[in-house]
Amino acid sequence: MEFCKLKEFKNQLKDNIIIGATGHIDIEKALNINPKKEDLSEYDENLLDNMYKKLDELLNGLKNITFISGMARGWDEIIALFAIKNNYNLILAIPNSVKWHKNRIYKKRVQAIFYDRILEYKKAKIYEINKIYNDKFYYYSYFARNQFIVDNSDIILTFYGYKSGGTLDCIKRAKKLNKCIFNFYEIIRRKDEK
The DSSP call for residue 70 is -
Res 113: pLDDT: 83
Rounded to a whole number of angstroms, the distance between the first and last alpha carbons of the chain is 26
At residue 180, the pLDDT reads 97
Burial zone of 50 (CB within 10 Å; 0-12 exposed, 13-18 middle, 19+ buried):
middle
Single-letter amino acid code for the residue at 48:
L
Task: Among 42-46, 52-56, 74-78, 189-193, name the one with the lowest average pLDDT.
Answer: 189-193
Mean pLDDT of 46-69: 94
Is the pTM value of this prediction over 0.85? yes
- Break the chain into its structural domains and give their ranges: 6-188
Q: Spell out the long-range contacts of 25-32 with Cβ–Cβ below 8 A and sequence spacing 24 or more.
A: 25/72, 25/73, 25/74, 25/75, 25/110, 25/164, 26/74, 27/74, 27/75, 27/78, 27/159, 27/161, 29/161, 29/162, 30/159, 30/160, 30/161, 30/162, 30/185, 31/161, 31/185, 31/188, 31/189
Whether the Cβ atoms of residue 185 and residue 161 lie closer than 8 Å to each other: yes
CATH class of 6-188: alpha beta
Across 130-135, average pLDDT: 91
- Distance between CA 2 and CA 183 in Å, rounded? 9
* Rounded Cα distance, 130 and 21, in Å: 19
**What is the tens place of the pLDDT at every residue in 64-122?**
999 999 998 899 999 999 999 999 999 999 998 888 777 765 555 556 788 899 999 99
